[in-house]
Amino acid sequence: MEDNKFETDAIRNQLERSQFQEHSTPMYVTSSFVFEDAEDMRASFTEEKERNIYSRFSNPNTSEFVSKVVQMEGAEDGYAFATGMAAIFSTFAALLNSGDHIVSASSVFGSTHTLFTKYFPKWNIETSYFDINHPDEIESLVQLSTKIIYAESPTNPGVDIIDLELLGTIAKKHGLLLIIDNCFATPYIQQPIKFGADLVLHSATKLMDGQGRVLGGVVVGRSDLVREIYLFSRNTGPALSPFNAWILSKSLETLAVRVEKHCENALKIAEYLEKHPKVSAIKYPFLTSHPQYNIAKKQMLLGGNIIAIEVHGGLIEGRKFLNAIRMCSLSANLGDTRTIVTHPASTTHSKLTPEEQLATGITPGLVRISVGLEHVNDIIKDLNQALNS
Ligand SMILES: Cc1ncc(COP(=O)(O)O)c(C=O)c1O
């Protein structure tokens, strides 16, 4: 029989039951934990004992959430954060020194791009960008000071795909760390560690929560690297709250079924929109028209829930389309049960200059659709009436 451990582990990987024999993991909403005596306290702080001390360091609920993501991604260890951006910032801050250099895809999430271009140079950490559709440029950007290759796949919001196996090979050849933001795919669809990633990051706010309720972030991968990130975070304080960790761990129990349905809906909608006379361009990884369709098929189980479209008439018609939407939500989030329509140029990526937006794959008329779990016919009906309005 086929091994279907993903779903089972997501549900059965659970904290030990307390003396109350509860079926569902309780919430450990506590800032600190008590010690038996002075010796217990001393040994806990020197890490001779592995136990919870203070929820900025660890907490049973965050540990349960992290251990699920570790298992799903095939990682060694992990650490959870208050947001995806806290995960991204803390990972780089923990692993890099002044003078180090990053080689990143130019198409990355807006705040990540801002981190690289606006803040890291303050600490003498520079970033060189490669075009996601030209990974052949990467090796020419590598310097003696390069430490990390960074990419998202699929990208936000252009839904571009990069060959993770190729990135893994380049990183290995040059002795560099490969860090992948796997937020759009989720570990159900793609596990970058299999292709050579050293660390995998997530905004757990998206499909991991999946219901638009809480913010969260997580990094998993090599235990020696996670140890550095943990020590940095233990002292700087970007920890995930136990309440949010409890929500996220519960959400992971249904990740597989939710993602299956999100992707089924998204593929049907992408096929519909591809033929729609008002849509001038469309990108969805599992449409044969996607420029990296073959790579997507090689490394992804399903196409994800994000579709990027251009409406005929560019920005003006795109805005008309957004204003005519009735059921779907105009919101900046994605990966929710509710279908969300966003205009990245004026929202999530608005801090980028027009040139940076274009380099990130954002044209003025680009619309990002995060396909939800409403009935697919209702989503299509709303998109169609808005396109025809
Ligand atoms: C690909 C990607 N990475 C990181 C983030 C940041 O996550 P958060 O909003 O949880 O800080 C986002 C948010 O949209 C994202 O889409």
The rounded distance, in Å, linking the Cα atoms of 200 and 121 is 23
Lowest mean pLDDT among 32-41, 346-355, 379-388: 346-355
Q: Calculate mean pLDDT across residues 10-24.
A: 96
pTM of the prediction? 0.96
CB 106 within 8 A of CB 129: yes
Task: Tell whether the torsion through CA atoms of 366, 367, 371 and 376 is positive or negative.
Answer: negative
Q: Calculate mean pLDDT across residues 3-13.
A: 89
Please give the C-alpha separations between residue 192 and each of 63, 90, 119, 151, 161, in angstroms, as whole numbers: 22, 20, 27, 11, 13
Q: Calculate mean pLDDT across residues 148-169.
A: 96
User: Is 303 a residue whose pLDDT tops 90?
Assistant: yes
Pocket test for ligand 1, best of 116, 206, 208 (most atoms within 8 A of CB): 206
User: Is 365 a residue whose pLDDT tops 90?
Assistant: no
Q: What is the pLDDT of residue 1?
A: 58
CA of 84 to the centre of ligand 1 (A): 5
Q: Calculate mean pLDDT across residues 52-56.
A: 96
Angle at 117 between CA 304 and CA 91, to 5 degrees: 60
Residue in 359, 263, 368, 271 with CA at minimum distance from that of residue 311: 368
Please give the C-alpha separations between residue 345 and each of 112, 126, 135, 154, 322, in angstroms, as whole numbers: 15, 25, 24, 18, 13
Nearest CA to ligand 1 atom 8: 84
Nearest atom within ligand 1 for CA of residue 86: 11
User: Is 67 a residue whose pLDDT tops 90?
Assistant: yes
DSSP states of 89-107: HHHHHHH--TT-EEEEES-
73 lines ligand 1 (CB under 6 A): no
Above pLDDT 90, what percent of the chain?
89
Nearest CA to ligand 1 atom 6: 84
109 lines ligand 1 (CB under 6 A): yes
Our measurement of the distance from residue 104's CA atom to the centroid of its chain's CA atoms, rounded to an integer in Å, reads 16
Q: What is the pLDDT of residue 357?
A: 80
Nearest atom within ligand 1 for CA of residue 156: 1
Q: Which amino acid is at 272?
A: Y
Task: Tell whether the torsion through CA atoms of 221, 224, 228 and 231 is positive or negative.
Answer: positive
Nearest CA to ligand 1 atom 13: 203
Q: What is the pLDDT of residue 350?
A: 78
pLDDT band at 317; cut points 50, 70, 90 = confident
Q: What is the pLDDT of residue 3?
A: 64
